[in-house]
C-alpha cells in the first residue's frame, strides 16, 4: 500500500484494497456513505494511527487478498457491467439471506429475549431494515438500473431528473446505514454473550456478514456507479 496517503479517500482505498472493508468496519469508519472522507479525517475519532491501520489492511490483503482479485477489477467495468455485477452479487445475497436471518432472529428473540432484552429492539430494527432494503432493491431493479443502462446509448436524457434520483437513492442508503449501526451498537458490535446457544452465535454472525456485505454494496453504488453515471451526463 505504498501509494496510500493521508489525503486518499476511504472509498478509494476500499476500491483498491477490498480487504479494507473489514478493517474499516472494525473501527467504525464509514467508507460507504462517507466514501469521500480523506483517511486522515476518518481516523480522527478513532484511537488508531495511519501506520497501524495501513499495516492491518496489508496483513488482511496478504492473508485473504487473492480471493478478492475479482472485486479489484470492478473499477474498470462500464455502466452495464457494473449494474449486472451489483445485481448478481449484492442483490442476490440480500434476497437469499434477509428471509433466513429474519426467521433465525425471531427464534433467538423468543428463546433468549427474557435475559437479553436488546433482542426485541434488534429484531424490530431488522424488520424495518428488511422492508427498506426489499423496497430499495425493487426500485433499483425496476426503475434505476434500466435507466442507467440506457444512459450509454441515449443522447438526450433528463440530466436533472437523473441527478435527483441518484440523490434520493443515496439518502436511502443513509437510512440503511443508520439501521445497521443501531443494531451494531445494541449488540455491542455483535458480541456473543456467555452461555447462549449456537443459534444465537449463528444469527450474530449472519448480522455481522449482512453489515459488511451491505456496506460494500452501498460503497459500490455511491462511490463507483453513481460517479460514473454523473461523469457520463456531464
Ligand atoms: Fe443496490
Ligand atoms: Fe442502493
Q: Determine the distance separating the centroid of ligand 2 and the alpha carbon of 173, expressed in angstroms.
A: 6
Give the closest ligand to the alpha carbon of residue 87. 1
Q: Which of 70, 47, 182 is nearest to 122 (CA)?
A: 182
| Least distant ligand from the CA of 132 | 2
Q: What is the pLDDT of residue 232?
A: 86
Distance 39 CA to ligand 2 centre (A): 24
Query: Which ligand is closest in space to the CA of residue 92?
Result: 1
Burial pattern 6-29, b for ≥16 Cβ within 10 A else e, equals eeebbbbbbbbbbbbbbbbbeeeb
Q: Cα(125) to centroid of ligand 1, in Å?
A: 20
C-alpha 221 to ligand 1 mean position (Å): 7
Give the distance (Å) from ligand 2 centre to CA of residue 49.
31
Distance 2 CA to ligand 1 centre (A): 32
The pTM score is 0.89
Distance CA 23, CA 56 (A): 7
Per-residue pLDDT tens listing for the chain (234 residues): 655 666 789 999 998 888 899 899 999 999 999 999 999 999 998 899 988 999 999 888 887 766 666 666 778 888 999 999 999 999 999 999 999 999 999 999 999 999 999 999 999 999 999 999 999 999 999 999 998 988 877 755 678 888 899 999 999 999 999 999 999 999 999 999 988 888 999 999 999 999 999 999 999 999 999 999 998 887
Q: Describe the crossing of helices 198-219 and 159-186 by its angle, rounded to 10 degrees.
A: 160
- Distance, CA 231 to ligand 2 centroid (Å)? 19
Cα of 163 vs centre of ligand 2, distance in Å, is 15
> Which residue is listed with cell 434476497?
95
Terminal alpha carbon distance of the chain: 32
CB 7 within 8 A of CB 40: yes
State in Å: Cα 97 to ligand 1 middle.
15
Within 10 Å of residue 207's Cβ, how many Cβ atoms?
21
Q: How far is the CA of 185 from the centre of ligand 2 (A)?
A: 23
**Ligand showing the shortest atom-to-Cα distance for residue 213:** 1
Question: Quick one: how far is CA 232 from the chain centroid?
Answer: 24
Amino acid at each position: 500500500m505504498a501509494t496510500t496517503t493521508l489525503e486518499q479517500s476511504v472509498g478509494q482505498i476500499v476500491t483498491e484494497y477490498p480487504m479494507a472493508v473489514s478493517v474499516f468496519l472494525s473501527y467504525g469508519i464509514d467508507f460507504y456513505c462517507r466514501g469521500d472522507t480523506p483517511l486522515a479525517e476518518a481516523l480522527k475519532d478513532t484511537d488508531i494511527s495511519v501506520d497501524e491501520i495501513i499495516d492491518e489492511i496489508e496483513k488482511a490483503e496478504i492473508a485473504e487478498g487473492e480471493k478478492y482479485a475479482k472485486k479489484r477489477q470492478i473499477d474498470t467495468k462500464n455502466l452495464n457491467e457494473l449494474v449486472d455485477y451489483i445485481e448478481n452479487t449484492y442483490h442476490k445475497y440480500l434476497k437469499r439471506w434477509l428471509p433466513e436471518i429474519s426467521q433465525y432472529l425471531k427464534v433467538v428473540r423468543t428463546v433468549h429475549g427474557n435475559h437479553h432484552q436488546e433482542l426485541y429492539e434488534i429484531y424490530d430494527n431488522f424488520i424495518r431494515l428488511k422492508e427498506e432494503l426489499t423496497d430499495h432493491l425493487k426500485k433499483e431493479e425496476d426503475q434505476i438500473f434500466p435507466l442507467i443502462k440506457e444512459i450509454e446509448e441515449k443522447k438526450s436524457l433528463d440530466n436533472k431528473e437523473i441527478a435527483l434520483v441518484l440523490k434520493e437513492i443515496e439518502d436511502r442508503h443513509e437510512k440503511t446505514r443508520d439501521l445497521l449501526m443501531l443494531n451494531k451498537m445494541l449488540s455491542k458490535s455483535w458480541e456473543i454473550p456467555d452461555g447462549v446457544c449456537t443459534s444465537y452465535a449463528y444469527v450474530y454472525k449472519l448480522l455481522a456478514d449482512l453489515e459488511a456485505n451491505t456496506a460494500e454494496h452501498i460503497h459500490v453504488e455511491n462511490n463507483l456507479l453513481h460517479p460514473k453515471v454523473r461523469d457520463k451526463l456531464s
